A and B are shown apart, each in its own frame.
Chain A
Amino acid sequence: MKIQKFKTLPSTNQKAKELAKKGAKPWLVVVAEKQTSGYGKEKVPWFSPKGGLYFSIILPKSKIEDLQTLTILAAFIVAKTIKRNFPLEPLIKLPNDVLIGKKKVAGVLTENIIGKDVKLSVIGIGLNTNVEKFSEELEDMATSLKIELGREVMVNNEKILKKIVKELKEQLKTISE
């Protein structure tokens, strides 16, 4: 698995798109320890301090319907990864978010560049692993694994990332064949 690591990025999705335009191969993973302008759907900011897991994957050229399915599957895979590794009960808010209780713990954003057909696609995932706390405006809407567990997440971010990417790869194979 090819992973490009950054200390800080404005946005991993932006970086992945930039690299894909320059010819980076599918399945390259771009990860940042923190994002300064992380965003979700319709450019709604995604609070991305150090401690969380923020990464994007350059996807192979796929049909738009498959990309939509993959977005849903990504949320499902993130929820499953949380459930398997921690004593927590995540829920999926279709198609993009993973919640614990009523608060967002992870989000998925697929971005495509389309001319007459799909030119390139990236999928970005933000998972609040060891995020200490959220601002007052966010604390009713967002949570982290650390907050929910009441302790530090012992599994490191990279290990979680690898599990998610591996499953996504397998899933895309299933839906696009």
Chain B
Amino acid sequence: MLAWSMKTKIKIGEKVYRVEISEIKENLIKVRMDDKDYFFTKNNLGELIPVDARTKDFGVLVEEGEVLWETLAEKEIRSPIAGIISSINVKPGKALKPGQKVATLIAMKMENEIISEISGIIKEIKIKENQSVDAGEVLIVLE
């Protein structure tokens, strides 16, 4: 379970890198730059030092290519289950509050109201009515 995470972009020269920083375990911080992961831990002095999280010495094992996008993406609302979008209840540019209904999804013959658990301004709606979506697929992007 992630304790916290943040997402940003940095520009070095002409290239923009996507950077995500997250605490993936107690005392283990992961920095993902584009698709490469770097790990840091705190030493006895409280300084952050780079470590190889895949080594047994550290006592943790992070699988190669382990994807943490879903928990990192605090500005995205993803479909919790697979199904078909039967209606969309929000519009781009509008504010969204936690608990607000964003769409109805028919899944496994049940009607599911998808609600937001985050707040923000809707930047993009990635779905259309009658579209089928997979579990984890991004439905709404917030600013």
A111–B80 CB distance below 8 A:
no
Cα-based distance from A115 to B115 in the complex (angstroms) = 5
Nearest CB on B from A18, distance (A):
13
A114–B111 CB distance below 8 A:
no
Q: Please, which residue of chain A has its CB at the minimum distance from the CB of B70?
A: A116
Chain B residues within 8 Å of chain A by Cβ, number: 17
Dominant SS among interface residues on chain A:
mixed
| Contact residues in A for B45 (Cβ distance below 8 Å) | none
B108–A68 CB distance below 8 A:
yes
A68–B110 CB distance below 8 A:
yes
Please tell me if B121 contacts chain A, counting CB pairs below 8 Å.
no
B 61-105 binary contact with A (CB < 8 Å = 1; else 0): 000000000000000000011000010000000000000010001
Please tell me if B119 contacts chain A, counting CB pairs below 8 Å.
no
Dominant SS among interface residues on chain B:
strand
Please tell me if B56 contacts chain A, counting CB pairs below 8 Å.
no
Question: Which of the residues A41, A95, A111, A116 comes within 8 Å of B117, measured between beta carbons?
Answer: A116
B112–A112 CB distance below 8 A:
yes
For the A-B complex, the count of residue pairs with Cβ-Cβ distances under 8 Å equals: 55
A 66-108 binary contact with B (CB < 8 Å = 1; else 0): 0110010000000000000000000000011000000000000
Cα-based distance from A56 to B109 in the complex (angstroms) = 17
Please tell me if A170 contacts chain B, counting CB pairs below 8 Å.
no
B 2-39 binary contact with A (CB < 8 Å = 1; else 0): 00000000000000000000000000000000000000
Q: Could you pull out 19 A-B pairs where Cβ atoms are within 8 angstroms?
A: A41-B106, A42-B86, A64-B110, A68-B110, A109-B110, A109-B111, A111-B110, A111-B112, A111-B113, A112-B110, A112-B111, A112-B112, A114-B80, A114-B81, A114-B105, A114-B112, A114-B114, A116-B117, A119-B115
B contact residues vs A (CB 8 Å cutoff): 80-81, 86, 101, 105-117
